Chain A
Amino acid sequence: MTDLVGHLVLFGGGAAVLLMLPLLIGKLVRPHLPTPQKDAIYECGEPAIGSSYIQFDLRFYVVALLFIIFDVEVAFFFPWAVVYGSALQLADPRLSDAARQELSNRLLSEPAGSETVISPEAAWQLGLTGFVDILIFFAVLLVGFAYVWKRGDLDWIRAVTRRAHQAPDQTVPTSGHTTTVSTSA
């Protein structure tokens, strides 16, 4: 324990000293003669053009918005997948007794040595329920996705120009994206 801390302190201290020492020497030794050319930002010998804080195309945001929603919905699949996977394994009648015991304990989060065993029929029932559940969930999610698609919010070369022709005062409609939030959340 102390050995580890000692090593860490020694290593950190050594690194700090070796970093600071050249900087300090340089500061003491070098002449101080600034010119505008020296103060300019270095950009591979080229003159620097503009600020680095440029604006990205707004369409990246739209795609990011849609992505994040459908991406995160998948998080609900993780706990489902754990239970469903174990249930399907348990539903197999050929499973050995020891393996069945271990899987049951894991599914019920009981300590090893517990007596409760899940029968193949019960596991099959659980798996079936889980499957129907996820189908409903996914169907609703798909309706939202299809709606976004139909509205044209996924098109990269969107009809910004077409819309601009139709309604000059509206550039990017946002209501479509907000709708997906409410339906899929």
Chain B
Amino acid sequence: MFSQLIQNLIDHTVETSLGYFQAELWLCGTIVVLLLARLFSLDRLLPGNVLALAGSVTAVFAAWSQLETVQAEPGFSETFFTGLMIQDLFSVYFRLFLALFLVLTVALTILSGIPDGEDAPDFYTLLLGATIGMMIMAGANNLLMLFIGVEMASVPSYAMVGFLKGRRTSSEAALKYVVYGAGAAGVMLYGISLIAGVLGTGDMSLLADRIRIVAEGGVAGLGDAEVRLVVLGVMLVLVGLAFKLSLVPFHFWCPDAFEGASAEVGGFLSVASKAGAFALLVRFAVSLSGPSSAALMSAFGIGLGVIAMVTMTFGNLAAYGQSNMKRLLAYSTIAHAGYMLMAVSAMLVMQNSPQAGALGQEINACIGGLLYYLAVYLFMNLGAFAVVALIRNYTFTEEISSYAGLGRQNPVLAVCMLFCLVSLVGIPPFGGFFAKLMIFGSVYKAGDLHWSMYLLLAVGGLNTVFSLVYYLRVLKVMFIEERPADSRPIRLPSLERAYVSLLGAFVLLLGCAPLLADGLTLLAGEAANSVFSAAVTSR
């Protein structure tokens, strides 16, 4: 019997789990090869950036093949590694998203040459390691994996922020990021210990069920001491996630870290670490939602709505006075985290309402909208950061004033920036508009259940109008002002031009090419569906 048990464990690990984990394994292998190449002084033959690019492209193919198999079975959901991780369309969607983003980031670093030959293995090790952490965050099915994912994503990020050696601002940014980040991770861990201890399990798919058992009356209320402890734990975990998402009371690090880090790293952190944290937030929120915790979770939903309002308002207001482009984009990142949080808030309010059964379609649409938003955000935000990085290589500055007259001198860069910024505002026909529309639509539907959702919608709409002003200011500098006569001309090689054009084209196409946009919407909807079906089948 025991022999059978071990044999099953080995078989399941080798045949199923490692297959589901292959994208991460390819990245792990790439890291080891990167270090070995350096160890045996093969870096002339196999430069670090080529290896990293090859590894991340392989990871994309691995994730793509998983997508095809998982998509063939609607509602597919299976835990692996003895229940520590979960494989469904939601996690595969994020895996593919992160791998694709990794390829784009590595390509950008190759074009802009941010790690020199000496540092390339170090830098790409950190970059790939952080991506593995984010993939684990998206597939976590256990509180331990939740924490390991967050740590694996953050620890290399701290180092990447401080990667520009000998620069005062870079080391300062890294210090601030690591001090706040380590604190947030510690607080989150304490929350995890409370949840796991009181509910007696770390398995996230069992949490809602255990809350029902702990709340003896059947409905979890704050009157019960054990439920109070769980609620405290959930709040502490949310602090950690809010830090990763740079939501308002925990956003201090974001502008400083982005300004001190290179633009490439800023772009990576703003998209990838947000995506991983949102995946985790959705999974965590869904795993806690159940019939007995409905009242608590819908209160959490409204609380997240309030945080979303404050976050986007703060982000947009603070972005006004910025003269540094990276800092402006950092505040814009904060504001966008607020927009995306609206979807999670609406989802929680709807899923924990008495009419949840009838609202299945709308609940799906919330998460579908969030996934679509993240995909569009990838292209528009990375595009903006890429332009900042490429211009920096010529002008050696990231001040907005140095962009004067760029529209005439280098139309490709300027038009790409135009597409990205306009899409960030959310103006049709760009992708950002439809993404925002989907989220606002979900929040509107949630408004029937609680009035505060209408308020959230109104604040979101107002913020969109606010944000127009500071994005337009950058565009005005680029297109209307004259370029100073003594400034250095920016002549991009054709490869770099092709790169930014590609990103700009995707921002446009995701908005106005129905085939691409509908395909993505459909995929996002299915992925959203899978996260809920997992929660239902395990119950």
Interface, chain A (partner B; CB < 8 A): 104, 108, 116, 118-119, 121-122, 125-126, 129, 140, 143-144, 146-147, 150, 167, 169-170, 173-176, 178-179, 181-183, 185
Contacts and interface: CB of A to CB of B under 8 A. Distances in A.
A72 B357 CA distance: 49
A173 B122 CA distance: 12
Contacts of B155: 181-182, 185
A126 B148 CA distance: 26
B122 A143 contact: no
Given A116-B2, A118-B2, A126-B6, A182 B159 contact: yes
Main SS class of interface, A: helix
A175 B151 CA distance: 18
Interface stretch (B28-36, B234-242, B324-332, B486-494): B28-36
Interface string B105-131: 000000000000001011101100110
Nearest to A178: B159
Contacts, number: 74
A119 B32 contact: no
Most chain B CB neighbours (cut-off 10 Å) among A174, A179, A185: A179
A49 B509 CA distance: 73
Contacts of A143: 32, 35-36, 39
A144 B152 contact: no
Contacts of B123: 175
Nearest to A132: B10
Contact of B159 (A108, A122, A140, A181): A181
A167 B126 CA distance: 24
Nearest to B38: A147
A174 B130 CA distance: 18
Contact of B3 (A119, A175, A183): A119
Interface stretch (B95-103, B161-169, B222-230, B526-534): B161-169
Given A143-B32, A175-B159, A175-B165, A119 B2 contact: yes
A73 to B, nearest CB: 15
Interface of B: 1-3, 6-7, 10, 31-32, 35-36, 38-39, 119, 121-123, 125-126, 129-130, 151-152, 155-156, 158-159, 162-163, 165-166
Given A116-B1, A183-B31, A147 B39 contact: yes
Most chain A CB neighbours (cut-off 10 Å) among B35, B36, B126: B35
Nearest to B4: A122
A19 to B, nearest CB: 39
A129 B163 contact: no
B10 A129 contact: yes
A174 B10 CA distance: 40
Contact of A150 (B10, B39, B159): B39
A117 to B, nearest CB: 8
Contacts of B38: 147, 150
Nearest to A185: B155
Contacts of A173: 165
Contact of B39 (A118, A119, A146, A178): A146
Most chain B CB neighbours (cut-off 10 Å) among A118, A173, A182: A182
A111 to B, nearest CB: 17
A185 B158 CA distance: 14
A174 B162 contact: yes
21 contacts: A118-B2, A122-B2, A143-B39, A144-B35, A147-B35, A150-B39, A170-B165, A174-B162, A174-B165, A175-B119, A175-B165, A176-B122, A178-B162, A179-B126, A181-B156, A181-B159, A182-B129, A182-B155, A182-B156, A182-B159, A183-B35
